[in-house]
Amino acid sequence: MVSVGLTLIFGVVKIINFAQGAMLTVALYGVYLLTSRLGLEAYLTLPLVVVGMFVIGCLIQTVLIDRVLRKERISQLLVTFGLGMALENGCLAIFGGDFRSVNVPFGNEVVSAADVRVPYVDLIAFGGAVVSVALLMLFLRTTRTGTAIRVVAQQPDSAELAGINVRRMYAIAFGLGSALVGVAAVLIAPMYAIQPTTGDTFGIVAFIVVILGGLGSVGGGAAAAMLIGIGQSVFATMVNVQMSTAFVFGAFIVLMIARPNGLFGRTERVA
């Protein structure tokens, strides 16, 4: 979800959002507050967290990102990097550095098949991710707004001439990318301890996934995320759990040498 949201933002707005991991942290704290203060079950917070992150994403695009779209690439990168630092340190100032947790009634239950034992929360996270990606792709391909987003991603100038509000599509795309982070937060909140730097690892791996999947390719990002996740889990189980993250970076370097355009990227000739 984090990777697909990142690749959607890049594919449409053409900006790399270095704050994606920090936004996951914000969403995780949102889940924590809704469960601890309002007494909601973790998975029932999904609509509130998703809508909240969508609004936050739209505001970030409209108020902040839109001001640097016509400027140098380094300015765009610094803005999103600064935003990520501000969000992370804001969480630290508000919640402190203590670890927080979100519990669900069946958090310790597992499904057993032969010698394989899988926690319920892992199955829910997997199913939720698959359904969310499927719904996103269905939205992009079958709705007027989704079609407009795809047109803007390919030819923003032509889209503007055709009467499409390009800035509005940018805001919606950034909002959708942020909403996907909200989905991810709800799905993983019962699985991970929450603290101000929780989103950092997810954000770094998301960049790797986006590059491997082909910049701007939603389907490629989802497929690459599956491959990286499964590969890392197999390596942790069969070889060494402490070295599993290093395995991801090593595999990334090797694959970039073999496939500079990513696993699902395509080389295009521009006349």
Choice between 63 and 115, residue whose per-residue pLDDT is larger: 63
In a domain, 270, yes or no: no
Number of domains, the chain: 1
In a domain, 209, yes or no: no
Contact 194, 187 (CB under 8 A): no
Q: Which among 32, 68, 66 is positioned nearest to 185, based on CA atoms?
A: 32
For residue range 10-68, list pLDDT tens digits in order.
888 888 888 888 999 999 999 999 998 888 888 999 999 999 999 999 999 999 888 88
In a domain, 211, yes or no: no
Q: Tell me 95's DSSP state.
A: H
Burial grade of 261 (CB within 10 A; 0-12, 13-18, 19 or more): middle
pLDDT of residue 269: 47
Enclosing domain of residue 83: 2-197
pLDDT over threshold 90, residue 174: yes
pLDDT of residue 270: 40
Q: What is the pTM of this model?
A: 0.86
Q: What is the DSSP string of 111-122?
A: EEETTEEEEHHH
Q: What is the mean pLDDT of residues 116-142?
A: 88
pLDDT of residue 223: 78
Task: Characterize 194-203 residue by residue with b for buried, 16 or more Cβ atoms within 10 angstroms of its Cβ, and e for exposed.
Answer: bbbebbeebb
In a domain, 253, yes or no: no
pLDDT over threshold 90, residue 114: no
Which stretch of DSSP H or E encloses residue 110?
strand 110-113
Give the whole-angstrom CA distance, residue 92 versus residue 82. Answer: 15
Q: What is the mean pLDDT of residues 180-202?
A: 90
Q: What is the mean pLDDT of residues 193-216?
A: 81
Choice between 108 and 35, residue whose per-residue pLDDT is larger: 35
Q: What is the mean pLDDT of residues 173-199?
A: 91
Give the whole-angstrom CA distance, residue 237 versus residue 173. Answer: 37
pLDDT of residue 263: 64
In a domain, 100, yes or no: yes
In a domain, 24, yes or no: yes
